[in-house]
């Protein structure tokens, strides 16, 4: 692993090297969503885009300013049927969705939303959510960090893509990046969404773009949400079950977006989709031909064809457990597999079973 892009202070503040564990040494828009039925999938299980992390947020910001610009890897060379779409041995198309706050938010390149969309072209989809606090080893090294820091290191999907393949056992063919501004634009473009808020929410420490806090509150009941309010609703984290509880609200909001997209019949307007695609070049390795074919697949899908799997902790059947480790010279709360640190065998087995069921 080449760490020339990381200054010495950053290496000592964020990563932990287990090689000398005895000494305990600290080292150291719219269009994209249409790719898989767009709003139907990504927003149905959008993970949180919180710009506030538990440990060493300042160091995380430093890495964003110390790395090179986004340099997307080349598209997969092996192309098969279905309008030039790449597929794995099971015939599935796997897309990595990367959610970042984006500029000018603090820690703009932390990947706080990580989703894999696994599509069976015959008519089913498996949406896999990976929590941002999962402890991982940086590919090609023994350094440890949260998975949401991998994209920040080089502002490129390559490192995160390798780790997601290791965790899920799925071959990733495509990736796409989306930020908060894009989400807001999508919701506002749709004219807002209708949401039934299940319980009162009062969050006096909702993070602002200027590293401060503001109060976000909303009463239980039916609401019409614009983009700004919807983002706060899905990002507020001071609720039950933390990040996992927040995902339930995100699912609810994104299902409202899906219904709105269907209501407006946007899947039928391919020229508009391709026009938006031109605005996000460099943020995905999916080309126009893939876009057209994925849109056609999305048209044929219904709610019953979409299956969800969140790799979580805290439940009887969860595959992750809560843990503590040293990050940023501080004790940090993280997650790791119940089978053991960096042992993803149970997760891969579960996902393999779910893809078979989805087929």
Q: Confirm whether 347 is domain-assigned.
A: yes
Neighbours of 109 (CB within 10 A): 26
Structure tokens at 233: 């609703």
Look-up of token digits 């849109």: 295
Q: What is the CATH number of the domain that holds 321?
A: 3.40.630.190
Number of domains in the chain: 1
Query: What distance, in Å, lies between the first and last C-alpha atoms of the chain?
Result: 38
Tell me if 1 is assigned to some domain: no
For residues 121 and 188, what is the distance between their CA atoms, to the nearest angstrom?
31
Structural domain boundaries enclosing 318: 8-358
Closest CA relative to residue 246, chosen from 332, 337, 129, 155: 129
**What pLDDT, on a 0 to 100 scale, did the predictor assign at position 332?**
95
| Residue 2 included in any domain | no
Q: Per the domain annotation, does 21 fall within a domain?
A: yes
pLDDT tens, the chain, 359 aa long: 444 444 343 343 344 444 333 333 222 233 434 444 443 334 333 333 332 223 333 333 333 323 333 444 444 333 334 657 899 999 999 999 998 888 888 889 998 789 899 999 888 899 898 999 999 999 999 899 999 999 999 889 999 999 999 999 999 999 999 888 888 888 888 889 999 998 899 999 988 888 899 999 999 999 999 999 998 998 887 776 777 777 678 767 777 877 787 777 766 666 665 655 655 556 889 887 887 788 778 777 777 888 889 899 999 999 999 999 999 889 999 999 999 999 999 999 999 999 987 66
Residue 321 lies in a domain: yes
Question: According to the model, what pLDDT value does residue 273 have?
Answer: 58
Within-domain flag for 3: no
| Residue 345 resides in a domain | yes
- How is the chain split among helix, strand and coil, in percent rounded to 5? 40, 25, 35
* Residue appearing with tokens 């969860």: 318
Q: Does any domain span residue 15? A: yes
CB atoms within 10 A of CB 211: 14
CB neighbour list of residue 140: distance below 8 Å, 6 or more residues apart: 1
Tokens at residue 267, please?
A: 């899947």
Q: What pLDDT score does 217 carry?
A: 95
Per-residue pLDDT, 313: 94
């Amino acid at each position: 692993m080449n760490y020339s892009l990381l200054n010495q202070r950053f290496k000592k503040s964020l990563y932990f090297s287990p090689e000398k564990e005895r000494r305990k040494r600290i080292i150291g828009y719219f269009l994209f969503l249409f790719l898989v039925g767009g709003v139907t999938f990504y927003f149905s299980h959008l993970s949180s885009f919180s710009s506030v992390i538990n440990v060493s947020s300042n160091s995380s910001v430093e890495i964003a300013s110390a790395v090179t610009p986004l340099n997307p890897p080349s598209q997969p060379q092996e192309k098969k049927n279905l309008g030039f779409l790449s597929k794995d041995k099971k015939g599935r198309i796997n897309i990595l969705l990367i959610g970042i706050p984006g500029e000018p938010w603090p820690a703009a390149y932390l990947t706080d939303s990580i989703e894999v969309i696994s599509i069976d072209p015959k008519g089913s989809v498996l949406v896999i959510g990976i929590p941002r606090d999962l402890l991982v080893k940086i590919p090609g090294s023994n350094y440890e960090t949260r998975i949401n820091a991998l994209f920040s290191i080089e502002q490129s999907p390559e490192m995160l893509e390798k780790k997601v393949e290791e965790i899920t056992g799925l071959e990733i063919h495509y990736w796409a990046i989306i930020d908060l501004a894009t989400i807001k634009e999508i919701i506002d473009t749709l004219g807002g969404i209708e949401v039934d808020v299940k319980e009162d929410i009062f969050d006096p420490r909702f993070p602002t773009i200027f590293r401060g806090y503001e109060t976000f509150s909303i009463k239980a009941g039916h609401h019409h949400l614009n983009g700004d309010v919807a983002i706060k609703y899905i990002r507020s984290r001071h609720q039950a079950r933390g990040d996992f509880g927040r995902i339930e609200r995100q699912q609810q909001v994104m299902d409202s977006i899906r219904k709105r997209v269907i209501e407006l019949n946007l899947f039928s307007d391919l020229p508009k989709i391709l026009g938006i695609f031109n605005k996000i070049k460099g943020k995905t390795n999916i080309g126009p031909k893939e876009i057209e074919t994925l849109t056609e697949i999305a048209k044929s899908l219904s709610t019953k064809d979409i299956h969800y799997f969140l790799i979580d902790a805290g439940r009887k059947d969860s595959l992750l457990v809560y843990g503590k480790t040293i990050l940023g010279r501080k004790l940090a709360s993280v997650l790791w597999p119940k089978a053991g640190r960096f042992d993803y065998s149970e997760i891969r087995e579960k996902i393999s079973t779910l893809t078979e069921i989805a087929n």
